Amino acid sequence: MSTAPFILLQVFAFLWAASLGSFLNVVIYRLPLGMSLSRPGSRCSSCLTPIRWFDNVPVLSWWVLRGRCRACGARFSPRYMLIELVCGVLGLALWRSTVDPLDPDTFTTMMALWIWLQIFVFSLVAIAFIDLEHTFIPEEISIPVIILGLAGGFFIPGLDPLPQVLGALVGGGFLLAVTGVGWLIYRREAMGLGDAMLLALIGAFLGVAALPFVLVAAACQAMVAVIVARLYQRATGRSAGLTLTTEELDARFGDTERHADLASHTVIPFGPFLALGALEALFFGHDLIWRLADALVALVVA
Ligand SMILES: [Zn+2]
């Protein structure tokens, strides 16, 4: 078999995933606002002109129109194009790492695995961007996706449901415990219920052994991001957009007394970093996951 059909399949995998990214843009924008996902169709948020199908090609249209509305010239955020591009690349990487089109015996199983992992990866993308903008993780996404994650463990050949069930329970339980302890010490939510749901979701797909890696990777990268954001804030006097000051939190949640003594603290949404850690675990983490899990087991046993 020549390589041409191979490349065509990969192009298809990219375009398919970029189109899903286009739909995720709608979810990320509308779901937190309680708007319908299907109606009205995509339109310019300035002039309300419906976006025509040929202007709605993932990634490409943004470049052709230079990020502007064809009707009124209003600028669209590059975030829309960025999310489509990220989804396309993730979809292509998933296809390349799960499906072998030359192996007819495993093809159906691989396709099932591919679809299942797409549910995982694209729900992570949606959750990360919603959390980044609104500092909450919608249960409308996390709960059904946890169920689909566990279902995959039972129905897709080659997967083992037990580590996944444990992953959901331990992941959710661990962050709930952290939230409880944080509340007792600081009288303030360090993690929310949404973060606990997200780690349960990650555990439901990656299994319990991946959780230490995901948590360590998320915490390290969140720390780096806080340091960079603070340096940026100090240098420019402007918010980096990533972090919320407690004043901004008060404005959002209307809870002034709770944060009064913590006025100088910087709060950062943890969800995007958990999602990032989970993607790193999925694509690069196999060796590290097991080394870290073994080290933890050795520590507990010793
Ligand atoms: Zn417009």
| Per-residue pLDDT reduced to its tens digit, 11-25 | 999 999 999 999 999
Distance 21 CA to ligand 1 centre (A): 21
Give the Å distance between the CA of 273 and the centre of ligand 1.
Answer: 34
121 Cα to the center of ligand 1, angstroms: 31
Q: Is residue 20 part of a domain?
A: yes
Confidence of residue 59 (pLDDT cuts 50, 70, 90): confident
Per-residue pLDDT reduced to its tens digit, 170-221: 999 999 888 888 778 776 666 678 999 999 999 999 999 999 999 999 999 9
Which tokens go with 102?
A: 């030359």
Angle at 212 between CA 180 and CA 120, to 5 degrees: 90
Predicted local confidence at residue 219, as pLDDT = 93
Question: Tokens 């995007």 label which residue?
Answer: 272
Look at residue 270 and tell me if it is in a domain: no
What is the pLDDT at residue 2? 53
When divided into structural domains, the chain yields a total of 1
50 C-alpha to ligand 1 centroid (Å): 9
The partner residues of 244 in beta bridges, in order of sequence, read: 267
Q: Give the pLDDT confidence score for residue 103 in this predicted structure.
A: 77
Residue 128 has pLDDT above 90, yes or no: yes
In a domain, 130, yes or no: yes
Whether 203 contacts 164, CB under 8 Å: yes
Q: What is the pLDDT of residue 18?
A: 94
Asked if residue 203 lies in contact with residue 162, where contact means CB atoms within 8 angstroms, the answer is: no
Residue 202 near residue 210, CB atoms below 8 Å:
yes
Tell me the C-alpha to C-alpha distance, in Å, between residue 229 and each of 123, 239, 268.
Answer: 26, 8, 10
How far is Cα 125 from Cα 24, in angstroms, rounded to an integer?
8
- Say if 192 falls within a structural domain: no
User: Residue 100 sits in which domain range?
Assistant: 1-134
User: How much is the mean pLDDT over the chain?
Assistant: 84
Give residues with Cβ within 8 angstroms of 263, minimum separation 6.
Answer: 246, 247
37 in a structural domain: yes
Give 170 or 302, the one with higher predicted confidence: 170
**Concatenated DSSP letters for 170-182?**
HHHHHHHHHHHHH
Which residues surround the ion ligand 1 when the cut-off is CB under 5 Å? 44, 46-47, 69, 71-72, 74
Residue 59 in domain: yes
Residue 236 has pLDDT above 90, yes or no: no
CA-CA distance, 14 to 183, in Å (whole number)?
44
Measured in angstroms, how far is the CA atom of residue 59 from the centroid of ligand 1? 18
89 or 245, which is more confident? 89
d(CA 255, CA 274): 26
Determine the pLDDT at residue 240.
Answer: 62
Please state the three-class secondary structure of 199-218 as a single string: HHHHHHHHCHHHHHHHHHHH
Q: Please, which pLDDT band fits residue 148 given cuts at 50, 70 and 90?
A: very high
Better-scored residue on pLDDT, 20 or 44: 20
For position 256, what pLDDT does the model report? 47
Q: What pLDDT band is residue 286 in, cutting at 50, 70 and 90?
A: confident
CA of 66 to the centre of ligand 1 (A): 13
Task: Return the SS3 of 69.
Answer: coil
In a domain, 103, yes or no: yes
Does 254 reside within a domain? no
61 Cα–ligand 1 center, Å: 14
- Mean pLDDT value across residues 98-111: 80
pLDDT of residue 157: 87
